[in-house]
């Protein structure tokens, strides 16, 4: 695979978003049901977004706005990050690229944003919730990358 710093085409962005929707759909179900069973709490990314805005900017954003920001991140911004990582930096190939990107998204969310939102680094005060977040992000990354790469291969 040749490295090019060209921006993704419209078709590629659409394929990235479709992959992101696939991963995000899984994430939402995983965060609410098996996570709540295993960790005794669901994962609630919009609450993290609200806390981040409150702690860093003193803004009280609504739950619908926080959900919108989380969804945009899941179906567009994280997939664009995957594209940048695998097309501009380094690619190990699938499925490794998807798993790696999923773990990176976990560290972005809980290693970077959670402390900025006043939470513990990687939510280490609730280890089962942190573990489920890691698993959910890893599977999210794999599914988003798998669907994207499948669509890209079909279009080629």
For the chain, the average pLDDT equals 94
**With contact defined as beta carbons under 8 Å apart, do 26 and 20 qualify?**
no
Question: For residues 38 and 136, what is the distance between their CA atoms, to the nearest angstrom?
Answer: 13
Q: What is the pTM of this model?
A: 0.92
77 three-class SS: helix
Question: For residues 93 and 18, what is the distance between their CA atoms, to the nearest angstrom?
Answer: 19
- The H or E element that residue 71 is part of is helix 63-72
Q: Is the pLDDT of residue 4 over 70?
A: no
pLDDT one-digit tens code per residue, 8-63: 999 999 999 999 999 999 999 999 999 999 999 999 999 999 999 999 999 999 99
Burial class for 8, CB neighbours closer than 10 Å (0-12, 13-18, 19+): middle
Other C-beta atoms lying within 10 Å of the C-beta of residue 109: 23
Burial class for 19, CB neighbours closer than 10 Å (0-12, 13-18, 19+): buried
In this prediction, residue 2 carries a pLDDT of 52
Which pair of structure tokens corresponds to residue 77? 């911004």
Q: Which residue has the higher pLDDT, 68 or 5?
A: 68
Q: What phi and psi, each to the nearest 5 degrees, are found at residue 44? A: -130, 80
Residue entry with tokens 């690619």: 91
**With contact defined as beta carbons under 8 Å apart, do 123 and 42 qualify?**
no
Lowest mean pLDDT of 67-71, 90-94, 139-143, 149-153, name the range. 90-94
pLDDT band, very low/low/confident/very high, at 109 (cuts 50, 70, 90): very high
Q: Where are the domains of the chain?
A: 10-155
**Sequence-ordered list of residues with C-beta below 8 angstroms from that of 20, at least 6 positions apart, any chain:** 74, 75, 76, 78, 79, 144, 148
């Amino acid at each position: 695979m040749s490295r090019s710093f060209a921006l993704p085409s419209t078709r590629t962005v659409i394929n990235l978003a479709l992959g992101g929707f696939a991963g995000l759909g899984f994430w939402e179900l995983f965060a609410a049901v098996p996570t709540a069973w295993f960790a005794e709490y669901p994962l609630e990314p919009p609450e993290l977004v609200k806390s981040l805005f409150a702690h860093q900017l003193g803004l009280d954003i609504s739950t619908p706005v926080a959900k919108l920001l989380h969804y945009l991140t899941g179906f567009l911004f994280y997939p664009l990050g995957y594209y940048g990582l695998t097309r501009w930096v380094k690619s190990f190939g699938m499925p490794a690229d998807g798993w790696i990107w999923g773990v990176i998204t976990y560290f972005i969310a809980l290693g970077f944003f959670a402390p900025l939102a006043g939470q513990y680094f990687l939510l280490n005060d609730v280890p089962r919730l942190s573990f489920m977040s890691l698993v959910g992000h890893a599977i999210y990354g794999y599914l988003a990358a798998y669907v994207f790469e499948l669509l890209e291969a079909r279009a080629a």
